[in-house]
Amino acid sequence: MLNYSNKKRAFRLTPPQTLAIGFIVIILIGSVILATPSANTSGEALPFLDAMFIAASAACVTGLSVINVGMDFTTLGQVSLMVLIQVGGLGFTTMATLIAIVLRRRISFRERLILQEAMNQTTLEGIIPLIKKVMIYSLVIEAVGAVLLAARFMTEMPVGRAIYFGVFHSISIFNNAGFDLFGMYPDRSASLIEYVEDPFVMIVSIILIILGGLGFIVLSDLITYRQNKRLTLHSKVVLSASVALIVFGTIIIFIFEYTNPNTLQPLSFGHKLLNAMLQSVSSRSAGLSTVDIGELRQASQFAILLLMFVGAAPGSTGGGIKVTTLVVLIFAVIAMLRGREDVVLFRRRLDQERIHKAITFTLLSFFLIVIATMVLTTTESAPFLPLLFEVTSAFATTGMSTGITDQFSSFGKAFLIVLMFVGRLGPVTLAFALARKPEKDKFRRPEGRITIG
């Protein structure tokens, strides 16, 4: 009996393993649905690899696509895509927990540990109230976004379709997925290119992207600020870094594309600035664009690539290494240059574990992108920078593309699926999911010294 109990405990999944398997199951279910003939306007089954690519891109809220989802998917396919985006954005554990709460089922300690892992929390305290807030905030923001977008779309399409478009694109934009249905119209460009001179659509999109990328912890802090009169250190760092990155990206894109006849040059000064801001905001995870990414100058593409690598905030619908990781690394360098032992942010000292985790996550992400790019340069025929751009976009779950995604070989598509999965789950979480149960060292070895720099 004791042996059976030990075996049962040995086969019990850890929280990282549960998250990994959960995402795999969601992707497989989505793949089966999207591959069925009834989900495709041609009436024929979509190749399973292509269906899996779209399902993975939606569940990992990336936005890369090998088909025209607006034209090639039926309403069933598009609604299935929308559900995958919503589940992927909020996280399947969040959705499962909310169902359990509605059914008044008790949330076990183990399930709380999984939620803690999924929401990137350092403590179990207040995890269930946070999950409730996540759903409320998401539904309210998406509903407002849907109403605003639908009202705008009613000026150019039937009311029913305008409402449908409003709901789909609000969910897609808030969850930083980047999918759009405008390809339904053969004479229209994809994404938001048709709205390059429409301030209303751009401003609504910018707000939705920012709210989705800040993370639910920060949103909760902002909403309760009037009562608490304070923000947590996490929120201060996220807000400060987000503003700095938006300004940085806007200035870079504005400068380099100002005279580009294929992007911003034909626009007025105000429209140039607003489009540069949208691209800056969208680059960090949303994947939407009002200009052809492939027509951007290489300097702009490289700046966007860097923004994609950084990504959004922890606990958000965005990807990347996260803005908090970047801030920790920058201030660790500053502390080292000043000869200080502690890394201090807003008069708070960071523990060494956070710094080590930031370094680990960044290096793992960097090496993964480098290795993936090296592999794809041997299997695909595209130039180096577009391939690096595509790899970074997939890993950072951004979805921006220079237009080469549908040209990838079967191996290339499968490789991008893995990158999107790893990027959404996080390299460190995936490593913990695959690794054996960690054991503490029984002793510490003598300290050694090596020369650095």
Res. 248 pLDDT band, cuts 50 70 90: very high
Res. 241 pLDDT band, cuts 50 70 90: very high
Res. 5 pLDDT band, cuts 50 70 90: very low
Is there a domain that residue 449 lies in? no
Is there a domain that residue 4 lies in? no
Residue 409 has pLDDT above 60, yes or no: yes
The residue with greater pLDDT, 280 or 226, is 280
Task: Say how many domains are in the chain.
Answer: 1
- pLDDT at site 10: 45
- pLDDT at site 220: 82
Residue 88 has pLDDT above 60, yes or no: yes
- The string of DSSP codes covering 387-438 is HHHHHHHHHTT----SS-GGG--HHHHHHHHHHHHHHHH-HHHHHHHHSPPP
**If DSSP codes are grouped into helix, strand and coil, which group holds residue 349?**
strand
- pLDDT at site 218: 86
- pLDDT at site 406: 87
Is there a domain that residue 248 lies in? yes
Query: For strand 348-350 and strand 343-345, is the pairing parallel, antiparallel, or unpaired?
Result: antiparallel
Worst-scoring range by mean pLDDT, 65-74, 134-143, 199-208, 304-313? 134-143
Average pLDDT over residues 136-145: 90
- 43-61 in b/e form (b: 16+ CB < 10 A) is eeebeeebbbbbbbbbbbb
Percent above pLDDT 70 for the chain:
82
- pLDDT at site 113: 57
Beta strands in 46-184 (DSSP E): none
- pLDDT at site 7: 46
Q: Which residues pair with 343 in a beta bridge?
A: 350
Is there a domain that residue 24 lies in? yes
Average pLDDT over residues 60-73: 90
- pLDDT at site 357: 86
Is there a domain that residue 413 lies in? yes
- pLDDT at site 250: 96
The residue with greater pLDDT, 357 or 34, is 34
Say what the alpha-carbon torsion angle 373, 374, 376, 377 is, to the nearest 10 degrees.
Answer: 110
Average pLDDT over residues 39-46: 92
Is there a domain that residue 355 lies in? yes
* Distance of alpha carbon 364 from alpha carbon 321, whole angstroms: 10
Q: For the chain, how many helices (H) and strands (E)?
A: 20, 2
Nearest-Å Rg of the Cα atoms of the chain is 22
Listed in sequence order, the residues at least 6 apart from 198 whose beta carbon sits closer than 8 Å to its beta carbon are: 152
| Domain span holding position 370 | 12-432
pLDDT digits (tens, 9 = 90+) for 424-434: 877 666 555 55
What tokens were used for 54?
Answer: 């779209």
- pLDDT at site 161: 94
pTM of the entire structure? 0.88
Worst-scoring range by mean pLDDT, 92-96, 164-168, 169-173, 181-185? 92-96
Is there a domain that residue 447 lies in? no
* Distance of alpha carbon 188 from alpha carbon 151, whole angstroms: 19
- Mean pLDDT estimate for the chain: 84
Is there a domain that residue 289 lies in? yes
CA nearest neighbour of 213 among 127, 298, 315: 315
* Distance of alpha carbon 21 from alpha carbon 221, whole angstroms: 31
Average pLDDT over residues 113-127: 55
Average pLDDT over residues 249-266: 94
